[in-house]
A and B are shown apart, each in its own frame.
Chain A
Amino acid sequence: EVVLTQSPGTLSLSPGERATLACRASQSVSSTYFAWYQQKPGQAPRLLIYGASNRASGIPDRFSGSGSGTDFTLTISRLEAEDSAVYYCHQYGYSPFTFGPGTKVEIK
């Protein structure tokens, strides 16, 4: 099973700042099969990024993804209050598919 590790566990930043979230895989994953999700309290997850760097429909361009192999990054270029959420990385290249434990982004 591909284990995904996310860092940091919690990120506390001010509006307008840049957030950088990391996800490391226990083995190389093709970027084609890597995604990021956002989940707000009481809501279902929302797909942000697929194929490591492709924004899903309706996702603002302040969200961007990058990476390859074992290291992937989600960047939120200019934080807004509505970005307060937990962010999960996800690989769907190897069965069983897996999620990371999440990074909580808090807006000061």
Chain B
Amino acid sequence: QVQLVESGGGVIQPGRSLRLSCAASGFSFGSYAMHWVRQAPGKGLAWVSVISSRGSDMFYADAVKGRFTVSRDNSKNTLYLQITGLTGDDTAIYYCAKGQSSLLAGPGDFWGQGTVVTVSS
């Protein structure tokens, strides 16, 4: 069965950097686009980024462009999100989600349980 397990979250000081990971299993990881979505405490969903199946194309939300970098290692079935210059606004649960196809333009059809990032001094 499809499994997505996020890791790398924690309590991080403002201004520091962080790399989140999403380990995938149960499907052909290299054949699907992958998304990151975040949810601030008590708030709604905010789409963050999507990367194509081969990792050659990606889109970002305006709020994170320039500070967030999405990447993937298809040999390790793992998705990454590098975050620099953390601020309090980045405090959220970060979810990875499997795309419906190799194409960027598709919904996340299966989600992990998320990893919590708390930015605090």
Residues of chain A touching chain B, judged by Cβ–Cβ distance below 8 Å, are 1, 33, 35, 37, 39, 44-47, 50, 56-57, 86, 88, 90, 92-93, 95-102
Contacts and interface: CB of A to CB of B under 8 A. Distances in A.
Interface string B86-121: 000000000100001000111111111110000000
Contacts, number: 57
Given A44-B114, A99-B45, 15 more contacts: A33-B105, A39-B45, A45-B45, A45-B95, A45-B111, A47-B108, A47-B109, A50-B106, A50-B109, A88-B44, A92-B105, A92-B107, A99-B37, A101-B44, A102-B44
A102 to B, nearest CB: 5
- Smallest CB-CB A-B distances: 5 pairs: A44-B111, A95-B59, A35-B107, A99-B45, A97-B47
Interface in B39-63: 44-47, 50, 59-62
15 contacts: A1-B62, A33-B105, A44-B111, A44-B114, A45-B108, A47-B109, A88-B44, A88-B45, A90-B47, A92-B107, A93-B105, A96-B47, A99-B37, A99-B45, A99-B47
Interface residues of B, number: 23
A47 B47 contact: no
Nearest to A45: B111
Interface centre among B45, B47, B114 (most CB of A within 10 A): B45
